[in-house]
Structure 1
Amino acid sequence: MQQDPNSRPATGYPYPYPPPQQPANGYPPNAGTAYPYQNHNPYYAPPQPPSPRAVLIRRLFTAFTVFLLILGLILFIFFIVVRPQIPNVYLNSLSVSNFTVSNNRLAGNWDLRLQFQNPNSKMSLHYDGVLCTLNYNRETLSETRLQPFDLGTKDQTQINATLSVSGTYVDGGLVDSIGKERASRGIVEFDLRVVSLVTFRYGVYRRRRYVTVFCDDVAVGVGGNSSSGNMVGSAKRCKF
């Protein structure tokens, strides 16, 4: 019997083992037995809990913010309900007597009647330190202070006042302007300013503020040869 010349004797080694199979999830087996992760970054520091002082400041800031919001809401509701309004002022009459202008000297007595009205239906008013100033071409001629008074809700009152000038020196341009008005139109236009310290009152609520009104270009009939005259036209409402 002949042997196959291409045959090789057995080496005596077993068939190599099959390669290890990877699990379906892609992770090696016994992953739980691996060494835990260690952070070797020397600059890493675990987060620290906030300090009690920071917590207290944060709580105080939150409480203060809530307080401001509540206070703003209360004031908003108050002004919606009460609706404070600025009082109205009317110049009912203005007359002048002993009015003379000569040699840069001016003299005269101005008698006026002011009417104050309170348009508020829930707030009363107290007037203190009412100052009336008479001007001509932005030049102050005279001023006087009125007595304090009160105005109830929807109330009104009239106040009389007198302003006097006795031989006061005035600029030559002012004298010429007054002379031209008297000669051309027979009138002189004066300006009146009223500054008041008003207290708005509603229950225990009090608020003080200055209120300024202007009655400009008030025409008073004073002819060239006359030393007295009265306001031309009806009552005039002063503007804020």
Structure 2
Amino acid sequence: MQQEPNPRPATGYPYPHPYPDPPQQPAASANGYPPNAGTAYPYQNHNPYYAPQPNPRAILLRRLFIAFLVFILILGLILFILMLVFRSQYPDVYINSLSVSNFNVSNNHLSGKWDLQLQFRNPNSKMSLQYDTVFLTLYYHRPSRISLSDTRLQPFDQGTKDQTPVNATLSVAGTYVDGRMTNSILEDRSGGRVEFDLRIDSTVTFRYGAFRRRRYVRSYCDDVAVGIPASRGSGEMIGPSKRCKSY
């Protein structure tokens, strides 16, 4: 049988493409690089135990800032307490009354009994006081301060702005005095009055919350006149209560 010179493919069967189509390339951008070239294959961390580490310098600065704030707060508290302490006032001491009994001077020997009442006042509005030790010393003020008797009071506490009356007794029984002092006392009694001096030595603790500061306070009650006529051996303080000077 004779074949046709240009045979045609059979209908219904596609003509096989001899070569595959090349992959399509994305169109270049204006700068010559394909778009999203940097994000085509993003990096993924597949390690679940990895976490970004904090900056050591930032941690150090944060700790230094916190330490600085704490230091400022502590310093401010100390300065506040010191301001209260330096502005604290000494206690006020008054001698309200003083009476003398069995007072006698003869043959260079002195006898007598002094009953007195003191008033301690705390002038501070923020600090309480604790009187740990209180010593009283009685003097005859002329011709020089000569100690006659002394005693110690019981410790006591005071709140802010408190006032505390304290009674005390001092006595002398036949103590020796020189001729100069004997003559001076007899001269004073001839005028109907004898003057005495009282010294108060206290160890006081100033308290503000948990803060404590102990201070030594000395108070003087000078020229306390007592009316003691020569015909009697007893007398009372002349005038109203007397404020003592504290240092």
Normalising by the smaller structure, the TM-score range is: 0.5 to 0.7
Alignment partners' CA distance in 2, 1:207 and 1:213 = 19
Match in the other structure for 1:206: 212
Task: Kindly name which structure, 1 or 2, has the bigger radius of gyration based on alpha carbons.
Answer: 2
Alignment partners' CA distance in 1, 2:151 and 2:139 = 12
Alignment partners' CA distance in 1, 2:75 and 2:148 = 45
Match in the other structure for 2:81: 78
Q: Which amino acid aligns with 2:83?
A: I
Q: Which secondary structure does the structure 2 equivalent of 1:106 belong to? A: strand
Match in the other structure for 2:117: 113
Q: Which secondary structure does the structure 2 equivalent of 1:145 belong to? A: strand
Alignment partners' CA distance in 2, 1:125 and 1:192 = 22
Q: Which secondary structure does the structure 2 equivalent of 1:233 belong to? A: coil
Q: CA deviation at 1:132?
A: 0.3
Q: Which runs of 5+ in 1 are unaligned?
A: 1-66
Equivalenced residue count is 172
Which one of 172, 179, 189 corresponds to residue 172 of structure 1?
179
Alignment partners' CA distance in 1, 2:82 and 2:200 = 26
Q: Which secondary structure does the structure 1 equivalent of 2:165 belong to? A: strand
- Cα deviations by residue, 1:191-211 (Å, 9 ceiling, x for unpaired): 000001101011110001111
Alignment partners' CA distance in 1, 2:107 and 2:231 = 16
Match in the other structure for 1:235: 241
Alignment partners' CA distance in 2, 1:155 and 1:203 = 17
Match in the other structure for 1:157: 164
Q: CA deviation at 1:96?
A: 0.2
Q: Which runs of 5+ in 2 are unaligned?
A: 1-70
- Cα deviations by residue, 1:25-48 (Å, 9 ceiling, x for unpaired): xxxxxxxxxxxxxxxxxxxxxxxx
Alignment partners' CA distance in 1, 2:79 and 2:118 = 34
Matched-pair identity in %: 62
Match in the other structure for 1:98: 102
Q: Which secondary structure does the structure 1 equivalent of 2:189 belong to? A: helix
Alignment partners' CA distance in 2, 1:80 and 1:168 = 48
Q: CA deviation at 1:129?
A: 1.4
Q: Which amino acid aligns with 1:77?
A: F
Q: CA deviation at 1:78?
A: 2.6
Q: CA deviation at 1:79?
A: 3.8
Match in the other structure for 1:130: 134
Q: CA deviation at 1:80?
A: 3.5
Q: Which secondary structure does the structure 1 equivalent of 2:245 belong to? A: coil
- TM-score, with length taken from structure 2: 0.66
Considering only aligned residues, what root-mean-square deviation do their CA atoms show, in Å? 1.9
Q: CA deviation at 1:76?
A: 3.8
Q: Which amino acid aligns with 1:204?
A: A
Which one of 144, 167, 171 corresponds to residue 151 of structure 2?
144
Match in the other structure for 1:196: 202
- Cα deviations by residue, 1:64-104 (Å, 9 ceiling, x for unpaired): xxx8x998765443343563111100000001000000000
- Cα deviations by residue, 1:141-198 (Å, 9 ceiling, x for unpaired): 0000000100001111100000000000011100100111111x21000000000110
Alignment partners' CA distance in 1, 2:132 and 2:199 = 16
Match in the other structure for 1:216: 222
1:3-42 alignment, distance < 5 Å: none
